[in-house]
Amino acid sequence: MLNAGPPFQPDPDRVVFDRKELGLILTTYGRFVAAGEWRDYAMSFLRDAAVFSVFRRAAEHPLYRIEKRPKLRAAQGAYAVIGMDGRVLKRGPDLAQVLRVLDAKLIRPVD
């Protein structure tokens, strides 16, 4: 029998998305995938930030980055949506509210 090793221990030196945050992000991601806008994503868990990057194609630069930076919680808010050009599109303390900036990108006129 294989020994699975010790139970998973989160790295206290890394910022991560919790289950609720990831659920909100993946719900938004799923809507854009269903609309054919996004096709891939990547997650990075760093010392000062957790980053969820979305791509139109896997070989491109990310269209958007959804970041969690707990050190900015008191000043500007821990969450931000950042565009491909590095511009902060929305920042705030509530992830659901910050993600709403992407809703306008999903609405298209019907021909």
Q: Are 91 and 77 in contact (CB under 8 A)?
A: yes
Q: Note the pLDDT tens digit of each residue in 23-62.
A: 999 999 999 999 999 999 999 999 999 999 999 877 778 9
Residue 9 pLDDT:
56
Beta strands in the chain (DSSP E): 40-45, 50-55, 64-68, 79-83, 88-92
pLDDT tens digits along 93-109? 999 999 999 988 776 65
The per-residue pLDDT for 39 is 92
